[in-house]
Amino acid sequence: MGHEEVLEELDRRIKRLQAEVELAEERLRYLDEIGAPSRYRTLQRKDNSVYYLLLMAVWVLLGFLALMAISHRLPYGFSFPLLPYVLIVLLVIVLPLAYYYLSRREEPKTPMDELEERERLAKLALSLFYLPLREAIEKEDRRKIEELAEDLLNNPILAEAIERTNEGDPKAMAYGLYLYATYRPELEGEVREALRMVNNKPIRALLKELVEG
């Protein structure tokens, strides 16, 4: 298998990701034209439950302070347990804050958020991996291919983009590229083993080139 077939596989992946970017951009433009972003922001602002909880916490805290002030003016014989009331006050204050934090973390993504994320990941996979890999293969720059293998292992941004665009397992891909970049005849067995692990088609084509000629 020659470089032509490897480059064909790469071009298919590049075109697929470029189409993903273009589709996301087109849908984002459409959503912006119909005013979808402002409508979603309005819907998100309608959840005022956290403010009611905070108001209740303030009300309980003020009640506790008032009770403390009154207790100092009452006869010495009158007393009430402070600890349970303090615990209730703390609980009522902490709950709204915890609710607010968790609700912000679990806030569902809007269609715009999802499209922007897909566009971002596709662009990263293209710019950080596929385009440099294609150039390195054209120039037969095995040092650059080895650097790309290291990036797959050490760059979490690239690894996430590769995984979430369904391009393959970054670790298996890095292993395949490293074998190609450092290939020696005695590594043929490892290359054949890697072919059973790697499902990324361009890298599989590279490895087949080594063992099938």
Please write the tens of the pLDDT for every residue from 42-73: 445 455 555 666 676 666 667 666 666 666 66
Q: Is 168 left (phi over 0), alpha (psi -120 to 50) or beta?
A: left
Residue 134: its pLDDT value, please? 96
Lowest mean pLDDT among 3-7, 40-44, 180-184: 40-44
Token couple for 59: 């009300």
d(CA 201, CA 207): 10
Tokens of 108: 């569902």
pTM over 0.85: no
- Dihedral sign from CA coordinates of 213, 127, 16, 157: positive
